Amino acid sequence: MIYDQIVLRYGDLIMKGRNRNQFEKRMHRQVKNALTPFKGVTYWKTFGRLYVKLNGQPYEPIADRLKDLFGIISLSPVISSESELEAIRATAMTLMNSLKTPPKTFKVSVKRAWKGFPHQSQQMNHLVGAHILRAFPELSVDVRNPEVELKVDIQAEATYLFCEVIPAAGGFPFGSNGKAMLLLSGGIDSPVAGWLALRKGLELEAVHFHSYPFTSEQAKDKVVALAKRLSYFSGAPLKLHLVPFTEIQTTLAQAGQDNLIITLMRRAMLRITEGLAAKSGALGIVTGESLGQVASQTLPSMNVIGRAAQLPMLKPLIMMDKSEIIAMAEKIGTFQTSILPYEDCCTLFLPKSPSTNPNIRIVENVEAGIANLDTMIEDAINGTEHMFLSPRKTSSAQSTESSSEEDEWF
Ligand code: ATP
Ligand code: MG
């Protein structure tokens, strides 16, 4: 194991960003949480970057974990050297000797960030390159399309050498763009929407509506598993609200407006979500809707459904095709869980022909005709169970008060 550190790059985002300090703080917190399982691994920060000290650990599992964090553009395992010509040359040799498949072509790219270093970048390319060529007579330089690009980053405190640049998830660090509620159904789409929202730096609380005992315990387990997976990406626990929806659903099903059931249900879901959002301080509602996918996702349907909510609706998948969403679900590791067969509350009362063009006045009339709808919505909010999920541990809480577990992380 030749590498001693991993460098994490934020890109220019951090330089231009509104609140650089905040961004960096959140990033450090994320990295710290993600590194907890790797004993002995530490990190240190410098201007616009973060270095993880491997202290003898193999870099692969650590890089694998860190590349999934948001706000990081790319990362590289590096060998550090003293910022001095002969030391850099010797380290470059170590790196070239460590390559599993010896390349036929290479190039050296030196970046002299520390202007106190006596040789200029271009000169250094030659000084290091010539040294390597002497040791590997079969190797040649190809500046356009080399098999290996040996990068040398000369900083004041040390020089870092590496060949590999691993792309990371990008986006903003967890929580840097505020908090929103994620409507998490257990289907394919909403976990992907959640991942995209997290990537944009949104802190999420997930809301799931169940119609127990019509929906099974397994259906709930599935949502818990998906929420856990999302918490892996944020590197922080995710609060999951489990809303009892049976009473409202059965009442709406008896309203005698079969083709409007889904519209009515969705509107009730949004009202409940807003009630929960008010307690959490969330300022948006994220859903996995995609234009035209089902009857409730036509523009006229979304218009009527959306009017039940005051908060902005965030729909990351709205313009995506199903095949693109599935590919993303596979990439983030939620697909296999999402396709487990357990019933969702909305499929229970699925009408034969759900309206694709509901009429807002009729919908409002039906709602006005259900005497205790407001009370039922209030009851659902008050009867909601809360869980804190993380990839490592799970805890239940009866109230929306912040749990001590949250404090442990932040
Ligand atoms: P998904 O794959 O996310 O379930 P879908 O294509 O099946 O989406 P719908 O079932 O119409 O579409 O749901 C649209 C959106 O409404 C979902 O993406 C999700 O955000 C929300 N939603 C639906 N059912 C529930 C539920 N039981 N609990 C929480 N949110 C839900
Ligand atoms: Mg669904």
76-130: per-residue pLDDT in tens? 999 999 999 999 999 999 999 999 889 999 999 999 999 999 999 999 999 999 9
Residue (of 351, 389, 335, 354) closest to 187 by Cα position: 335
Give the CA diameter of the chain.
88
What is the chain's mean pLDDT, rounded? 91
* Residue 387, helix vs strand vs coil: strand
Position with higher pLDDT, 409 vs 14? 14
Cβ neighbours of 365 (radius 10 Å): 11
Residue 188 C-alpha to ligand 1 middle, in angstroms?
A: 9
Q: Is the predicted pLDDT of residue 402 greater than 60, yes or no?
A: no
Confidence of residue 396 (pLDDT cuts 50, 70, 90): low
Q: Return the ligand number nearest the Cα of 191.
A: 1
Token pair listed for 358: 């509901």
5-167: what fold? VC0802-like (3.30.2130)
Q: Is the predicted pLDDT of residue 65 greater than 80, yes or no?
A: yes
Give me the CATH code for the 179-397 domain, please.
Answer: 3.40.50.620
Q: Do 199 and 169 meet the contact criterion of CB atoms below 8 Å apart?
A: yes
Residue 11 pLDDT: 66
Q: Where are the domains of the chain?
A: 5-167, 179-397
Task: Reply yes or no: is the peptide bond before residue 146 cis, omega within 30 of 0.
Answer: no
Confidence of residue 39 (pLDDT cuts 50, 70, 90): very high
- Mind listing the pLDDT tens digit for each residue in 216-251? 889 999 999 999 999 999 888 999 999 999 999 999
Q: Is the predicted pLDDT of residue 12 greater than 80, yes or no?
A: no
> Taking ligand 2, which is a single-atom ion, which protein residues have CB atoms under 5 Å away?
185, 187
Residue of 188, 189, 208, 210 best suited for mutating to test ligand 1, as the one with most atoms within 8 Å of CB:
189
Residue 350 pLDDT: 74
